[in-house]
Amino acid sequence: MAYPKNFKYTKEHEWIKADGGTATVGITTYAQESLGDIVFVELPKVGAELSAGKSFGTVESVKAVSDLYAPASGTVTEVNQDLATAPEKINSDAHGSWMIKLKLKDPKELNALLSADDYEKFVAEETH
């Protein structure tokens, strides 16, 4: 599995792509494959304040409901409304199907996250 090099990753299997003081967040392909077919996504409202490492919503598959964890602290500026009616978009392209956009509180928080290479190693260890 090739993970985009310009993303950062959490050990809870979220990705974040920073662009200056803003960032886009979603779940990794590994998370999607582990969950199975995603049938529902619950996301925060625009304006919600998120704290790094805290739950910001849930993703429901045919197998389970899993919490989503914020990779960084910030304010939600946009929510992917397409996922409310078509959560299955995540099944076909997890890295292309973003969930929320954030105005980052402290972009330096991203330094604590995993690089694509480190995330691949983490997933390999978790699956063996």
Domain that holds residue 46: 8-105
Q: Is residue 112 assigned to a domain?
A: no
Q: Is residue 122 assigned to a domain?
A: no
Q: Is residue 117 assigned to a domain?
A: no
Those residues whose C-beta lies under 8 Å from the C-beta of residue 93, and which sit 6 or more positions away, are none
Q: If you average pLDDT over residues 56-63, what whole number do you get? A: 95
Per-residue confidence band for 1, with pLDDT thresholds at 50, 70 and 90: low
Average confidence score pLDDT of the chain: 96
* Calpha distance 58→56 (Å, rounded): 7
Q: Is residue 127 assigned to a domain?
A: no
Domain total in the chain: 1
The answer, yes or no, to whether residue 54 has pLDDT greater than 90, is yes
pLDDT tens digits for 72-119?
A: 999 999 999 999 999 999 999 999 999 999 999 999 999 999 999 999
Instruction: Return the residue matching tokens 């956009």.
Output: 101
pLDDT at res. 126: 86
Q: Is residue 69 assigned to a domain?
A: yes
Per-residue confidence band for 127, with pLDDT thresholds at 50, 70 and 90: confident
pLDDT at res. 2: 80
Q: Is residue 119 assigned to a domain?
A: no
Q: If you average pLDDT over residues 10-31, what whole number do you get? A: 97
Q: If you average pLDDT over residues 16-32, what whole number do you get? A: 96
Q: What is the CATH number of the domain that holds 38?
A: 2.40.50.100
Q: Is residue 76 assigned to a domain?
A: yes
Where are the strands (E) in the chain, listed by range?
Answer: 8-9, 14-19, 22-27, 38-42, 49-50, 55-61, 65-69, 74-79, 100-104
Q: Is residue 29 assigned to a domain?
A: yes
pLDDT at res. 128: 79
pTM exceeds 0.85 for this model: yes
